[in-house]
A and B are shown apart, each in its own frame.
Chain A
């Protein structure tokens, strides 16, 4: 069945450094790839997304890249700040199935 793998499970970076989280998906029909941030005790919220007809998208310090051939996509956070500390989830949707499948999450710690 459909599967989304996410790595690493935990990531610690120094403030100001960059962080990269990677996800791979199994179904080549996947066509939408969002990233969510979940702060402690709160609900997940979208931070950026990309559709299958686009290779890269940026929003200030956050960017997402998509490699359809390799079936993987990545989240890049530059100039990390303490408030970036959270759990990040990638997800994928499969065209025509309505499913919305998440990765297992990455706990990012930004060290001051």
Chain B
């Protein structure tokens, strides 16, 4: 497996609370991505990063923010969690523009 770790793996949180998910890589890959996976919607891109402090929005970025202060870490923050953000979140990393992405194990987030 590519050196990519997500934490936590599972989390239950209450509506209105902030939540931060972490993606850590040991591959020194330039590109990092956050997706959410929901039945019937596939993998939807939330935010992505193309370098330290270089990030951009994906298809479903509302309610989410990200930060990448160093190459190995990409953080996804839900400022005020809502039930609609209950999902499985995947981080992915990629070395170059036309190459495959490697996924983390996923984080199952439940907002109650």
Bound pair (A, B): yes
A-side residues, CB < 8 A to B, are: 1, 6, 9, 31-32, 34, 43-46, 49, 51, 89, 91, 93, 95-96, 98-105
Q: Are A31 and B98 in contact (CB under 8 A)?
A: yes
Name the CB-closest residue of A to B98: A32
Tell me the B42-71 residues at the A interface (CB within 8 Å): 42-45, 48, 50, 56, 58-59
CA distance A31 to B97 in the complex (A): 10
Name the CB-closest residue of A to B54: A98
Name the CB-closest residue of A to B39: A105
User: From residue B101, how far is it (CB to closest CB) to chain A in Å?
Assistant: 6
Name the CB-closest residue of B to A48: B100
Q: Are B48 and A44 in contact (CB under 8 A)?
A: no
Selected from B40, B94, B104, the residue in CB contact (under 8 A) with A100 is B94
A104 CB contacts on chain B under 8 angstroms: 40-42
Which of B31, B58, B97 neighbours the largest number of chain A CB atoms within 10 Å of its CB?
Answer: B97
How many of chain B's residues touch chain A, expressed as a range? 20 to 34
CB pairs A–B below 8 angstroms (16 shown): A1-B59, A31-B98, A43-B103, A43-B104, A43-B106, A44-B43, A51-B98, A98-B97, A100-B45, A100-B92, A100-B101, A102-B43, A102-B44, A104-B41, A104-B42, A105-B42
In the complex, B33 has a CB within 8 A of chain A = yes
Q: Are A95 and B42 in contact (CB under 8 A)?
A: no
User: From residue A60, how far is it (CB to closest CB) to chain B in Å?
Assistant: 18
CA distance A100 to B58 in the complex (A): 9
In the complex, B35 has a CB within 8 A of chain A = yes
In the complex, B105 has a CB within 8 A of chain A = yes
Q: Are A45 and B103 in contact (CB under 8 A)?
A: yes
B74 CB contacts on chain A under 8 angstroms: none
